[in-house]
Amino acid sequence: MKYVSTRDNSNEYNFEEVFIKGLADDGGLYVPTSLKKYTHKELLDLKNLNYNELSTEIINQFLSDFISKEELLSLVKKSYSTFREKEVVKISSIGKLKLLELFHGPTLAFKDVAMQFIGNLYEYYLSKNDKKINIVVATSGDTGAAAIDAIKGKSNLNIFVLHPNNRISPVQRKLMTTVEEKNVFNIAIDGNFDDCQNIVKSMFSDLEFSKSINMSGVNSINWARIIAQAVYYFYAYFKLGKETVSFSVPTGNFGDVFAGYLAKIMGLPIDKLIVATNENDILHRAISKGDYISREVKETLSPSMDIQLASNFERLIYYINNSDSKITLDIMKKIKQNSYQIEKNNLDIIQKDFLSESCNEQETLDIIKKNYEENNIILDPHTAVGVGAAKKLSFNDCVVLSTAHPCKFPDATNNAINKNKKLPRELQHVLDKNENFQVLKNNVEDIKKFVKSKV
């Protein structure tokens, strides 16, 4: 399969470049030039596969020139052997609503599903290429832990994770800083998440620096992450055995919900995709009325969705404009100037597939409380936003993606119900292990010097 950039589709790239680079040189995101569309009969053939087999079938569509199907299956099996659930994900119910639990991986959030796979893809790539790669990533909490767990101990790979000092939950931090492997480096920046993200961006755009260390990124725009996430939409659809299914997806960067859209355009009979946001509601304003103006980021109970510029939305813009990269580039310029209003014809197309809703802080707490009292289930605050959006839209029997284990966000659950979930037994040890991280100033040159001294 070949890929192009959303901002200039005149050049084609293969999967290897798409995976290792993440972002195209022109700043666009990679998208495939064509997609397999499953027929009804082909879908029936996938229906009874287990999670690993299904992953292999779906993912293989995108990278068959990179890895053979047999090797892919063993890579997938290895990736998901680290999960506490044999079938990787689990479907549970709250009343008629279904929860698709995606948090049974090593670091308790859905990011593990793609990240464990990506860690092994790097290892496979390096087994064929004599190179050393340095991954640098900024995190507001969940991505960093998932990436570290996926990369730790792998040869010819180092990982550097920047988190905002004192601004992530202690559980989130400890899942990263108690890892002992020598190829893991945690840096706490005196600043906020945007500062961390800006440092990583400026390290990437310093080509002399980034080439000198073979710098690579694993943030949510990486196509390899999207395809691994599309799999659980197929899996949930087959498990439920209904004719069509709608999904409510707690959203920040539009990555997870875009994976659902990908499943839909590959022929999976998805009815609606509900984009569920917290008070950082740019995507709700965009999808409900075309208003894509970003505002100041607010800190909320669901920090992994505290985002005001949803990177993966660019892929949707490209698709709804019939894969026209000129139009996409124009729109991205408007977004950069923070002056993009979605035109009526585009909005009509978006609203065929997407609905949206937003939950404020009080509503999020109320949902956690109500579900605890009525169903004895403790929801994490991100999942609560997904449940709230589905209820507000009266989608009472859809599937809500449950993106994090409630034990990761004890402040929110304590606030709502005076209770918090314990960490799973296998992870209890992180609570009292020694932590190892370096506090550095919010200064890109200092960070570069630190990274250089370690590679």
Q: Which residues bind ligand PLP (CB under 6 A)?
A: 109, 111, 142, 220, 250-256, 304-305, 382, 403-404
The pairing of beta strand 30-32 with beta strand 3-5: antiparallel
The pairing of beta strand 270-277 with beta strand 245-250: parallel
Give the nearest distance from C-beta 99 to ligand PLP in angstroms.
13
Q: For 454, phi and psi rounded to 5 degrees?
A: -100, -20
Q: Which residues of 410-428 are buried (b: 16+ CB within 10 A; e: fewer)?
A: bebbebbbeebeebeeebe
Q: For residue 148, what are the contacts with CB-CB under 8 A and spacing of at least 6?
A: 107, 159, 161, 175, 176, 179, 184, 186
Q: Rank residues 55 and 402 by Cβ distance to ligand PLP and give the closer one.
A: 402
Task: Give the three-state DSSP class for 29.
Answer: strand
Give the nearest distance from C-beta 247 to ligand PLP in angstroms.
12
Dist CA 448 CA 432 (whole Å): 31
Task: Give the three-state DSSP class for 141.
Answer: coil
Q: Cα separations (Å) of 89 from 105, 109, 205, 226?
A: 9, 11, 37, 16
Q: For residue 126, what are the contacts with CB-CB under 8 A and spacing of at least 6?
A: 133, 154, 155, 156, 157
Q: Rank residues 105 and 191 by Cβ distance to ligand PLP and give the closer one.
A: 105
Dist CA 258 CA 133 (whole Å): 28
Q: Rank residues 253 and 321 by Cβ distance to ligand PLP and give the closer one.
A: 253
Q: Is 391 annotated as catalytic?
A: no
**Closest residue to ligand PLP, based on beta-carbon distance:** 255
Which of the 8 DSSP states describes residue 276? E
Q: Rank residues 384 and 447 by Cβ distance to ligand PLP and give the closer one.
A: 384
Q: Rank residues 15 and 254 by Cβ distance to ligand PLP and give the closer one.
A: 254
Q: For residue 62, what are the contacts with CB-CB under 8 A and spacing of at least 6?
A: 1, 15, 32, 223, 227
* Greatest Cα-to-Cα distance within the chain, rounded to the nearest angstrom: 58
Dist CA 225 CA 181 (whole Å): 24
The residue among 104, 311, 353, 113 whose CA lies nearest residue 200 is 311
Give the nearest distance from C-beta 172 to ligand PLP in angstroms.
10
Q: Cα separations (Å) of 172 from 231, 330, 406, 427, 450?
A: 26, 38, 12, 12, 23
Dist CA 384 CA 409 (whole Å): 12
Give the nearest distance from C-beta 404 to ligand PLP in angstroms.
3
Q: Rank residues 168 and 447 by Cβ distance to ligand PLP and give the closer one.
A: 168
Extract the tokens encoding 123.
């290892």
Q: Choosing from 98, 111, 239, 264, which is the catalytic residue? A: 111
Give the nearest distance from C-beta 205 to ligand PLP in angstroms.
22
Q: Rank residues 335 and 447 by Cβ distance to ligand PLP and give the closer one.
A: 335
Q: Rank residues 109 and 184 by Cβ distance to ligand PLP and give the closer one.
A: 109
Give the nearest distance from C-beta 194 to ligand PLP in angstroms.
15
Give the nearest distance from C-beta 85 to ligand PLP in angstroms.
17
Give the nearest distance from C-beta 402 to ligand PLP in angstroms.
9
Dist CA 66 CA 244 (whole Å): 33
Q: Rank residues 109 and 175 by Cβ distance to ligand PLP and give the closer one.
A: 109
Q: What is the DSSP string of 154-204?
A: -TTEEEEEEEETT-S-HHHHHHHHT---TTEEEEEESS-HHHHHHHHHHHH
Give percent helix, percent strand, percent coil of the chain, each to the nearest 5: 50, 15, 35
Give the nearest distance from C-beta 221 to ligand PLP in angstroms.
10
Q: What is the DSSP string of 362-385?
A: HHHHHHHHHHHHHH--PPPHHHHH
Active-site positions read 111
